[in-house]
Amino acid sequence: MSKTILRALPWLLWPVCFAAVGVSLTMVRAAEPPDDSNGAVLQLTNGDHVTGRLVDSQGSDRLTWQSPTFTSPFDFPLSAVGTVQFPIPAKLTQPEGAYCFELAGGDVLFGSLVALQGNEAVLDVSGVGRLHVERSTLRRMYRWHGGAELVFFGPNGLKGWQMSGTTKGWREEAGHLISDQNGAIIRRDFGLPPQARFEFELSWKDKPDFEFALGVGDSKTALRAFRFEVWENELIALRETEREADLAKLQTIKPGAGRIHLQAFLDQPKGHLLVFSSGGQQLADLTVTTGKPQPLGGLQLTNKSGDIRLERLSIGRWNGEPPRGVEADKSRIHVTDGSITYGQLQSYDAAKHEFVIETNSTEQRITEDRVQDVYFSQENVVSPRSLRAVHLSGQRISGDLVKIEQNKIWLKCPGIREDVASSVEALHALMGLDPRDAAPAADAPATPTSRPGRLELPGTVLHGSLVETRKSDASCLVWQPTHSKLSSPLKPDASARIVYRDPPPPPKPQPAQMQRQVRVVPQAGLVGGVQGLLGSTNASTSKPRSKQTKPVLHLRSGDTIPCDVTTIDEKGVTFAATVTDATFVRHDQLKALELVSDAAPVQIAKMKKDRLLMLPRMQRDNPPTQLIRSVDGDYLRGRLVSMDEQQLQIEIRLETKTLHRDRVARIIWLHPDEIDGTAKPAASADPPVGTRVQALPSDGNRLTFFAEELVGTALSGRSELLGVCRVDLQQIDQLLIGPAIEQAAATLAFHQWRLKAAADPLAAKDDGDGSGDGMEGQESALVGKPAPDFELDLLDGTKFQLSGHRDKIVVLDFWASWCGPCLQVMPQVDKVAHEFADQGVELVAVNLEETGDKVKAALERLKLSTTVALDRDGRVAEKYGATSIPQTVIIDRGGKVVRLFVGGGARFGDQLRTALQSVLSDEPESSN
């Protein structure tokens, strides 16, 4: 079943440059931009990141960084820099130049060869200029054909890849694909040719455990593809099918960080895979065939555990011929006819465009147009460097930072005489190299003066602390990142939060049997002195007030104030509290009042909650302003008129009712300006000076004020409502800043209670000419089902309950006076219903959410005396799905819906008449 191939066979690498990272050819999609496409993103080694831009600086050990949210820049030591991701244009730059040059340390340059003599080569590098490069730094130079033989050159970020598996835990860094999530899978269809060649480089920080499959269509086909896997401490190439399997050991994986760089040739129709090391040593020759070979176009990389990074992936076409054998450790020139000349490259004659090579003490000249590849003798020593610039064109240049000036980054690169300048606009990314290789920071950041925390704002997460500031400073919120020597004030309009302690996970939901069901009290049936929410007006028979903490006022800003509430009137709430000298708050600033904060929780169905918060059309000019919840969990809505120590006065449909205060657990304010979800309390005409913050202590209360100064860990300022405020940063979990206060408040439990305007029913269109056989109107899902029961007030002051008319065939006609088609249909329905009145047909016209005066005016205009039921809140129309009107429903004597028509027209009466005749004819003789 298995074999291990340990033989070595030199080979001829194909004549294209595969070393570049971040290159895009015409067939390659552009990489995805950072989260903030208008700025670069600095990733730090501790996991922090901050959006912004590089700032001019002199020095070799630090980057200076300006965030748009701060007034002045930070500076970070290179040892703390992970990457800088620059915005990616829609179209990436294609590499230019006659050659691709591979240098020591993984650097790649594109350009032309100007001279080569002695120990130095002169290169004219695209986008950089002329460079003098030590020969010992050169590893290889290739003829560059513009990537014509390539299918893909990258990886160029996440765009075009599909993530799956137990977690979608892949991210992009300098064009590389990275995952540290167990079970993360990434896959992409490249349209692989049946015979393809690959070069790939994978790296890891700890022991790897991955699977890299070539030639896949989906996750299932990956099981039968040629794969590279890690078994214990060995890298294996293998393929398994139902009939056959083969594998080969490629190399030993050492503990800790590492990487692999391999070349592979895949012939899918023949089931054949060749694997070579980057230096040309053959590592595997596998053949596993299938009965019906089917070439597949994709690759799949799975991170089983640990971490993995795909740094390089090149895919090209292959003619099926095995690579020619070479002596991989010798200098050589590959010629376009396939021949190889070994020897020491002496020089390049630019005038004659010839390479001069010494072979066995004999000088040989090869014209440049015949040269495909040049391999230089390699030294194992690579000079350390701290920073790598990755160009959009695919060039990579690494060295030590010299300066950042005039939007250019200057690096001192080992083996290159000149300082190398890269334009920021030409960069894909900057990569901080191993911190052990970076120069130590010149000085450490300033010592924090307050509690350390985590600053979060759009595009930024920075650990650090606030710096002590006095009132004379421009802003008292000055942030000192952990690694930065410099601190900077937040801008006044910043929206952010500082997290000092992460909130605990949300509690698990209670078992269903432990939750109480809410009862929505019918508003029309409320009268003072009855049981239920109104309770008893006799104080001696009411339930005693719960032993509890003080009542709590919840403001729309999110503030919470433990207090004693004395009265509520038409202006607002009067209270007494130890946390503030304020004694009054207006209605427009309030969101809730918890009179009994330990009231038992209740479970309210979404439909019932939606009904409580639905604002009917007829109430839009006079909406309810409060929801009242009893200690038993019942809800009632209306307008709170007043409250004192004993009772509440609440107005419901223009009638004032009395509730005993001991029966009320909480009051929720409903603000009409919250219907669109964007409103907030009116701001003061003269707000205090400073930055608005909201402190979240561990006890769950919230305090909003304008911060003025920070002394030690004491942050102080002034509130419009509460006056002078002071919090100890050691005692709070979070500090919200600016617009983040409203964003957080919108997620609070009481802030989820917002009115929602009922949708206006549509005026239905004409359904046709009215002709039919009586079978029309049976398309609705309600037909054949029991008609929803209801009770409504009639226009004459009496009541109508559907279940009380089982001996009749009831016709419900849903309408409104503003609906033109309704007014056209109503006289026809009224006329037809009267024709069948002696056979037990009864018509009830259900008006949607209009006043009695409007209904009477419409009837007078139509000269009708139809029985009209008033669906004031649209609840009955909702039960019958009357989202479009007119809607006419026929209910038989058994209480079932037998016909339902939406719309009408000039001849709807004929259609209704035929339908009623059909319904009556289906009844037993005894029914008539």
- Is 767's pLDDT higher than 70? no
pLDDT of 436 higher than 60? no
* Identity of residue 320: G
Beta carbons within 10 angstroms of residue 820's beta carbon: 10
Question: How far apart (Å, rounded) are the C-alpha atoms in residues 75 and 448?
Answer: 16
SS3 for 221?
helix
- Residues in CB range of 66: below 8 A, 6 or more apart: 52, 53, 54, 55, 72, 73, 74
**Which residues in 350-388 are b (16+ Cβ under 10 Å) and which e?**
eeeebbbbeeeeeeeebebeebbbbbbeeeeeeeebbbb
Q: Phi/psi of residue 919, each to 5°?
A: -65, -45
**Backbone dihedral angles phi then psi of residue 596, each to the nearest 5 degrees:** -125, 90
Q: Are 597 and 551 in contact (CB under 8 A)?
A: yes
Structure tokens at 389: 């610039």
Please report, for the chain, how many H helices and E strands are present, in that order.
Answer: 6, 71
Could you say which DSSP state residue 729 is in? G
pLDDT of 377-428, one tens digit each? 776 678 888 999 988 888 889 999 999 999 999 999 999 999 999 999 999 8
- Which one from 17, 413, 725, 819 is the annotated catalytic residue? 819
Whether residue 822 lies in the annotated active site: yes
Per-residue model confidence (pLDDT) at position 214: 96
Distance CA 904, CA 827 (A): 12
Model pLDDT, residue 722: 81
Does residue 581 contact residue 569 with C-beta atoms inside 8 Å?
A: no
Long-range contacts of 164-167 (CB under 8 A, 24+ apart): 164/219, 165/302
Place of tokens 């040309």: 280
Q: Is the peptide bond before 452 cis (omega within 30 degrees of 0)?
A: no
Give 105-159 as a 3 state SS string: HHCEEEEEEEEEECCEEEEEECCCEEEEEEHHHEEEEEECCCCCCEEEEECCCCC
pLDDT digits (tens, 9 = 90+) for 571-621: 999 999 887 888 999 999 999 999 987 777 777 777 678 778 887 766 677
* pLDDT higher than threshold 50 for residue 26: no
- Residues with Cβ within 8 Å of 607's Cβ and at least 6 positions away in sequence, in order, are none
Q: Give rounded-to-5 percent helix, strand, coil for the chain.
A: 15, 40, 45
Q: Given the residues 17, 413, 725, 822, select the one marked as catalytic.
A: 822
User: Region 36-49: what's the mean pLDDT?
Assistant: 81
Unique residue bearing structure tokens 């050589």: 332
183, burial (CB in 10 Å: exposed 0-12, middle 13-18, buried 19+): middle
Q: Do 869 and 794 form a contact (C-beta atoms < 8 A)? A: yes
Looking up tokens 């010494």, which residue turns up?
358
Least confident interval from 3-12, 217-226, 725-734: 3-12
Q: Which two tokens stand for residue 824?
A: 């056209």
Q: What is the token pair recorded at 99?
A: 């050659």
The Cα–Cα gap between 687 and 924 comes to 78
- Torsions phi, psi for 889 (to 5 deg): -120, 130
SS3 at position 900: strand
The confidence score (pLDDT) of residue 50 equals 95
What span, in angstroms and rounded, lies between the C-alpha atoms of 809 and 774?
16
Q: Report which of 308, 333, 330 is spatially closest to residue 113, judged by C-alpha positions.
A: 333
875 band by pLDDT with thresholds 50, 70 and 90: confident
Residue in 440, 494, 465, 182 with CA at minimum distance from that of residue 307: 182
Position 685 pLDDT exceeds 60: no
For residue 208, the model assigns a pLDDT of 93
Residue whose C-alpha is closest to residue 628's, from 618, 639, 616, 642? 639
Reply yes or no on whether 819 is catalytic: yes
Q: Coil, helix or strand for 784? A: coil
- Over residues 649-672, the mean pLDDT reads 89
For residues 359, 364, 369 and 375, what is the CA-based torsion angle, rounded to 10 degrees?
A: 20
pLDDT-derived band at 545 (thresholds 50, 70, 90) equals very low
Look up residue 665 and give its amino acid: A
Q: Give the whole-angstrom CA distance, residue 459 versus residue 35.
A: 7
Q: What percent of the chain has pLDDT above 70?
A: 83
> 250, 3 in Cβ contact below 8 A?
no
pLDDT cut 90: percent of the chain above it: 48
Task: Tell me the residue ranges of DSSP E strands in 331-447.
Answer: 332-335, 340-342, 344-349, 354-359, 362-367, 371-375, 387-391, 396-405, 408-412, 419-423, 427-432
pLDDT at 706: 92
pLDDT in tens, 706-733: 999 999 999 999 988 788 889 999 999 9
What would the mean pLDDT of 788-812 be, rounded to a whole number? 94
The band of 557, judged by pLDDT with boundaries at 50, 70 and 90, is: confident
The confidence score (pLDDT) of residue 1 equals 36
pLDDT at 281: 79
Rounded CA separation 875/869 (Å): 12
